[in-house]
Structure 1
Amino acid sequence: MDDLNNTAATKGEAIGLQRHAAATLTEQLAALFAARIRNRLLPPGSRLPSVRDCGRRYGLSTQTVVAAYDRLQAHGLVEARAQRGYFVRAAVLAQAPAIARRGAAQPEVAAPMMAPTHATALVRGMFHQMGAGSAVALRGAPGSGVLPASWLESAALGSALRRIARGSELEQVSLHYGHPLGDPALREALSRQLAGLSLQAPPQQILTTNGASQALDLVLRALTRPGDAVLVESPGWAMQFAQMAHHGLKLLPVPRGADGPDLDLLDQLARAHAPRLFICVSVLHNPTGQSLSAASAHRVLQLAQRHGFQVVEDDVYAALAEPSSARMSVLDQLEHTLYLSGFSKILAPGCRVGFVAASPAIIDRLIDQKLLAALTTPALTERALAHVLEQGQMRRTVQQVRDRLDAARARAVRLAEKAGCRFVAPPRGLLGWVETGVDTAMLAQRLLDAGYLLAPGHLFDPQQQPSTRMRINFTQTQDEAFWRAYAAAKG
C-alpha cells in the first residue's frame, strides 16, 4: 500500500518522511499535517494540497496520500468536500495533538512548516524560524517585513536602561503603575518628534501602546462595533485584515494605486455603506512601497469630512521615509485622522512600543480601552526609549539604516529583475511588490520546501483572492542562492 520508487523515497526522506521507519508513510504524512493544524500553520478553512499535488511534492503514491487524508478525516481534523478536496475543520485544536503524537511516535516525525495561507501563519513562520521539530532549516525570510536584527540599534537602549537602573528613576517607573496615557517623558519626546513632521500633537493627545498592532486594536475597540463597515486598501497588510475580521467588521476594499486609493470608488463605497473608518498607509505603503500624493491626501480628507468617517493613518515605516512626505494627519492636524506608529521597525522589536496620536475626545475613549486591555504599558521600557530619543541616538541610527537600505535595495532589484520579476511600483523603502507571472501560493510552498519563507500575494488581498504577486524584503533578498531557488521553484 505504501509503495515508493527510489526517486520518490529520496524526495520523501528529504522533507522528513522515512521509508524504513516503524511508522508507515501514511501515518507519517498524517502526522505532518496534524502538526501543521495543531500549530495553526494550516489554519481552519484552509485547503490541503490536492491528492496528486501532495503525491508529487512528497514522492508518494496517490493511495498513500488518500489513506493519510482519510486518517485525518477519521480523527475529525479535516473534512472532504465533493469535487473540491479536503479542508481543515473549524474546531480541531483539541484533537490535533493526539494524532500527531501517534503518527510520530515510532520515531517522532518532524513537521515541516506550512507555506503562509493566512496572516497569522506568516507571522508564526517568522517567529518560528524553522527551529526545533522542523524538517527544513530556514535559510531566509524574503517575505518578512522587518529589518535584520544586525541592523538595529541595541547599545543606546541598553545604555538608557543601565542609566535608569543606577538612578532614582528605577523606583518611579517600576514600583508603581504607569500613567494610563503612557510614560510622560516618552510622550513629551514623541510630541517633539511629531512636531518635526509638522504634526502638532501635545503629550495629552498621545497614548502609548504595546506596539502599533495594539494601537490599531484599541482603535477598533473604541470606534467600531461588530457589523460596522471599514474601508481598507487593497493590497494591504494581512494582519490588519485579520484584526478587523476578528472584531466582526465588514471590509470594503479600495484599490491602491501609485498616488493613493481609488478616490471615485472610495466616494461610492462611503456613500453606500457609511463606513466608520478608513485604514490606510500614506507613506511607504505595505506591500507596494508607494506613497500618497498631496492631491490624493487632500481629496481623502474631503471625503472623510463629507461622509463622517475617521482616517486611521498607519505610519510604522516612518523612520525610513522622508519627513516631508505627504501625511494626512499633518494636513488635517488630527481633526478627522488618527496617527499610528511605533519603533519595532527601526529600534528594537522586543520593546513593543507603539503609540496613537488623536483628538482629545478619541484619546479619552482609547484610554478606557487600554485600561480594560492591559491597565498600562511598561513604564521602564518607555522611559528608556524616552532617553534614547532625547539624546539623539535615534537620528544617527535612522541615517545609518537608510544608507544601508539604499545599497541593499539596489542589489535586490538587480537580482529580482535578472530572475524575471517585474516591480509593480518603483522600489522604495524596505518592501517591494513583485509580479512573478505564476500563482505565488504554490510558489511559496515550493520555496518553503527549499527553506525560504515567502509572502504570497493573496495574503495582502482583503478577499484572499489568488495572486501572481509577492512581497519581498530588500534586505532579505541579497543572496543569489534564493533567486536560484526561486527560478527552480517557478519552473
Structure 2
Amino acid sequence: MDLGIDRQAPVPVVQQIVSAVAEWIRKNEVSPGTRLPSIRQLALDNLLSQSSVIEAFERLVAQGLLASKHGSGFMVAQPATGHEQHWYEGAEQGWGAFTDSPLGELKLGCGWLPDAWRESDDISYAIRETSRTDTGGLFNYSTPLGLPALRAQLLRRLTRIHVATSLDRILTTHGASHAQDLLIRTLLKAGDEVVVETPGYGNLYRQLAFQGVTLLEVPRTRGGPDIPALELLLQTHRPKCLFINSLYHNPTGTSLCRTVAERLLELARDRDFLIIEEDVYGDLQHASCTRLAALAHDDRVIYVSSFSKTLSSALRVGYLCASAAIIAQVAHLKTLTGIGTSRFAEAMVATLLSNGTYRKWVQRLRKRLSTQMAATLQVLEDEDWQVFAVPAGGMFLWVRPGLADPSRLQACARRLGVLLSPGALFSPNGEYSEWLRINVSYAADQRALALFRAMGPARSTSTILKTTPM
C-alpha cells in the first residue's frame, strides 16, 4: 500500500497516514474484516518508522474505522450500528461539512481553519504561562463581566479599530454564538420580529427560531444588506433588531460599504431598532473597512466578536460591547445561566494579546489566506465557476459551477471525498440554492482541485465519474 507520504508537507506524518488509510478504504470500498498489511511491511514499503504506523492505526481504531485483534493485526472495522452519530455543528444531519467523519473527507465548506494551519506552540506557551502566573485561574470563577485583564486588552483593541467604549461596556462570553444567544434571550421574546441577511449564518437562524422569533429576510448584496428591500420591508414591519455580519460575511465573503452602513444607522434611528453586528472575521482585515460600531450610532449598535475563527475554537472566548444598560441585563442572564466564563481560557487569551503573540499570528494568517484566496480565485476562473464577489480578505467564497450541470455536484463531491456546504444551509427556510460556500484554506487540496476541474466547462458525466483525487 503506497501511502504517498509527503515529508515536506506541514501536516504531521502520523496524520498523513491516518488520512491515506481512510482514503484507501473509502475509495476502494474495502469490506469490513479485511486485514491490512502488517505494521512492519507498511513501514518498510513507505520508509516510515513502525511507531508512526502504530500511532496512526491506534487513532483509526479510536475513530472506529479499524479494529484490532490480538495475534491478527488490524482490520477494517464493522460499521457502527444503531443510531450512533458523530458530532456536528448545527441541528441537522444535513450539515455534512461539519461532521467529524472517520473517513477523512475534505471539509471544503467548513467555517474554521485546518489543523495544519494552527500554531499550537503559542497556545502551549499561554497554558504554561497562565498556570505559572495566575494560579487562581485554575480554581476560581471569573467576574460577571469577565476577566479584567482580558477586558482591558479588548478595550485597547476596540480603541484601535475606532469602536468607542469603556471597560464597563465590555462583557466576555463563550464565543460569539453564546453572545448572540444571551442577546436574543435578553432583548427578544416569542413573536418579536427581527431582520436577518440571506444568505447568512445558519446557526443564528436556528437560535432565533428556537426562541420563537419571526425572521424577516433581506438579501445580502456585495455591499451589505439590500437597502431598497429593507426600506420596503420597514413600511409594514416593526423589527426589534437587525443582525448583520459586516466584514468578510459568512458565507459570501463580502464586506459592508460606507454608504450602506450610514443608511442602516439612519433607518435604525428612524424606525427604532437595534443592530447586532457580528465581527468574528474582522481580525483578518488587510486595509480600511467599515464597521457600524465605529460610526456614530447612539448606542444602537451591539458589537459581537470572538477568537474562535482565528485563534482556537476550543478556547470558547468571545465578547460583546453594548450600552451600560444592556450589559447589565446580559451580565445578569450570563451569571444566572452559567455562573460565568472560563477564567483560565480568558487569561490565556489575555496573555497572547498582551505579549504580541496574537498580533503576529494574525499577520501571518492574513498573508497566508490572501495568497490562498488569490490562487483559489484563479482556479475557479480557469474552470468557469461563478463567484458572487471577490472578497477583500477573509476565508470564504460564495460560488457555483458555471457551465456544468449543478445537479451533478453532490454526486461528484461524494465520489471525490469532498464534503460541501450547499446554499440551503445558509437560508432561513432551507431553500435550495445552486450556490455553495468554499473555505479557501482547504481549496489547495487535490480533492478540491479535482472537483473544480470536474465541474468546469464541457465536462461530461464520464469525465466526472473517472475523476479521482490525486
- TM-score bucket (shorter structure): 0.7 to 0.9
Q: 1:465 aligns with which of 412, 422, 431?
A: 431
CA drift at 1:127: 5.2
Q: Is the 8 A contact 2:171 2:331 kept in 1?
A: yes
Query: Are 1:160 and 1:388, in contact at CA under 8 Å, matched by a contact in 2?
Result: yes
- 1:256 and 2:220 are equivalent in the alignment: yes
Following the alignment from structure 1 to structure 2, what is the Cα–Cα distance between the partners of residues 351 and 237?
A: 21
Separation in 1 of the partners of 2:399 and 2:262?
A: 29
SS of 1:351's equivalent?
Answer: coil
Q: Does 1:386 align with 2:345?
A: no
Q: What CA RMSD, in Å, does the superposition of the two structures yield over aligned residues?
A: 3.2
C-alpha separation in 2, matches of 1:228 and 1:216: 16
Residues 427, 321 of structure 1: alpha-carbon distance in 2 compared, 3 angstrom cutoff: same
Which residue is equivalent to 1:302? 266
State the Cα distance separating 1:163 from its structure 2 match.
1.9
Q: Does 1:285 align with 2:229?
A: no
Partner of residue 130, structure 2: 164
CA drift at 1:481? 3.2
2:138 paired with 1:177: no
Partner Cα distance (1:107, 1:203) in 2: 56
Shifted more, 183-192 versus 259-268: the winner is 259-268
Q: How many residues align?
A: 389
Instruction: Describe the superposition over 1:38-76 as per-residue Cα deviations: whole angstroms up to 9, x where unpaired.
Output: xxxxxxxxxxxxxxxxxxxxxxxxxxxxxxxxxxxxxxx
Alpha-carbon distance between aligned partners in 2 of 1:297 and 1:144, rounded to the nearest angstrom: 28
- Aligned in 2, Cα 1:423/1:230: closer, same or farther, shift over 3 Å? same
Amino acid at match of 2:192: D
2 CA distance for matches of 1:448 and 1:352? 32
1:172-321 matched pairs, under 5 angstroms: 173-321=137-285
Match of residue 450, structure 1, among 416, 419, 426: 416
1:15 and 1:112 in contact (8 A); partners too? no
Distance 2:169 2:267 in 1: 24
Is the deviation greater in 383-392 or in 146-155? Answer: 146-155
Which residue is 2:447 aligned to? 481
Listed as ranges, the gaps of 5+ residues in structure 2 are 1-25, 33-76, 462-470
Between 1:477-486 and 1:269-278, the stretch displaced more is 477-486
Q: Which residue of 2 aligns with 1:150?
A: 116
The 1:170/1:333 distance shift into structure 2, 3 A limit, reads farther
The structure 1 residue matched to 2:375, chosen from 407, 411, 415, is 411
Alpha-carbon offset, residue 333 of structure 1: 5.2
Q: Deviations over 1:306-335 (max 9, x none)?
A: 111100001000111146310001103561
User: Residue 414 of structure 1 aligns to a residue in which SS?
Assistant: helix
**2-side partners of 1:325 and 1:276: how far apart?**
26
More deviation, 253-262/310-319: 253-262
SS in 1 for 2:319: strand
Cα distance in 1 for partners of 2:177, 2:122 equals: 24
Cα distance in 2 for residues equivalent to 1:324 and 1:113: 48
**1:113 to partner: Cα distance:** 12
- Structure 1, residues 209-255: CA drift from partner, whole Å, max 9, x if none? 11111111111000000111110001111111111111111111101
Cα distance, 1:235–1:13 mapped onto 2, change above 3 Å: closer
**Are the aligned partners of 1:138 and 1:452 in contact in 2 as well (CA < 8 Å)?**
no
Question: What TM-score do you get using the length of structure 1 for normalisation?
Answer: 0.73
- The answer to whether the 8 Å contact 2:97/2:421 transfers is no
1:48 maps to what in 2? none
Are residues 1:424 and 2:388 paired?
A: yes
What is the SS of the residue equivalent to 2:191? coil
Counterpart Cα distance in 2 of 1:396 and 1:123? 37
Check whether the contact 2:130–2:351 (CA below 8 A) recurs between aligned residues. Answer: no
> Which residue does the alignment assign to 1:433?
398
Q: Distance in 2 between matches of 1:383 and 1:454?
A: 36
Structure-1 separation of matches of 2:285 and 2:84: 34
Report the CA distance between 1:125 and its aligned residue: 4.2
Segment drifting more, 476-485 vs 352-361: 476-485
Give the whole-Å Cα distance in 1 for the aligned partners of 2:407 and 2:185: 32
Change beyond 3 A, Cα 1:313–1:323: farther
Identity level (%):
34
Deviation at residue 484 of structure 1 after TM alignment: 2.1
Q: SS of 2:259's equivalent?
A: helix
The answer on 1:396 being equivalent to 2:364 is no
Give the deviation of 1:446 after TM superposition: 4.5
Q: Which moved more, 1:402-411 or 1:262-271?
A: 262-271
Kept in 2: contact 1:444–1:456 (CA 8 A) = no
Q: Report if aligned partners of 1:181, 1:208 keep a CA contact under 8 Å in 2.
A: yes
Q: Structure 1 residue 166: deviation in Å? A: 2.1
Conservation of the 8 A alpha-carbon contact between 1:209 and 1:354: yes
**Which deviations, in whole Å up to 9, do the C-alpha atoms of 1:59-103 show, x marking residues without a partner?**
xxxxxxxxxxxxxxxxxxxxxxxxxxxxxxxxxxxxxxxxxxxxx
Gap change, CA 1:346 and 1:113, over 3 Å in 2: farther
Residues 440, 457 of structure 1: 8 Å contact kept: no
Q: 1:281 to 1:13 in 2, by over 3 A?
A: closer
Please state whether the residue corresponding to 1:272 is helix, strand or coil: coil
Amino acid at match of 2:101: M
Please tell me whether the aligned partners of residues 225 and 247 of structure 1 are also in contact (alpha carbons under 8 angstroms).
yes
Displaced runs of 4+ in structure 1, greater than 3 A?
12-18, 106-114, 117-128, 437-442, 485-491
Write the letter of the residue equivalent to 1:443: L
Give, in whole Å, the separation in 1 of the partners of 2:304 and 2:419: 28
Distance 1:112 1:474 in 2: 33
Structure 1 residues 35-184: aligned runs within 5 Å: 108=79, 119-121=90-92, 125-126=96-97, 128-131=99-102, 137-167=103-133, 169-171=134-136, 173-184=137-148
**SS of equivalent residue, structure 2 residue 185:** helix
Which residue identity does 2:124 align to in structure 1? G
1:336 to 267, 292, 300: 300
CA distance, structure 1, for counterparts of residue 139 and residue 298 of structure 2: 34
Q: Report if aligned partners of 1:211, 1:354 keep a CA contact under 8 Å in 2.
A: yes
1:334 and 1:358 in contact (8 A); partners too: no
Cα distance in structure 2, aligned partners of 1:266 and 1:338: 19
Return closer, same or farther for 1:262/1:154 CA change in 2, 3 Å cut-off. Answer: same
Aligned with 2:106: secondary structure? coil
Q: Deviation at 1:176?
A: 2.4
**Residue deviations 1:434-460, cap 9 Å, x none?**
022578686335413532110101111
Amino acid at match of 1:466: Y
Tell me the amino acid that sits aligned with residue 431 of structure 1: F
Task: Return the alpha-carbon distance in structure 1 between the equivalents of residues 322 and 146 of structure 2.
Answer: 14
Q: What residue number does 2:289 align with? A: 325
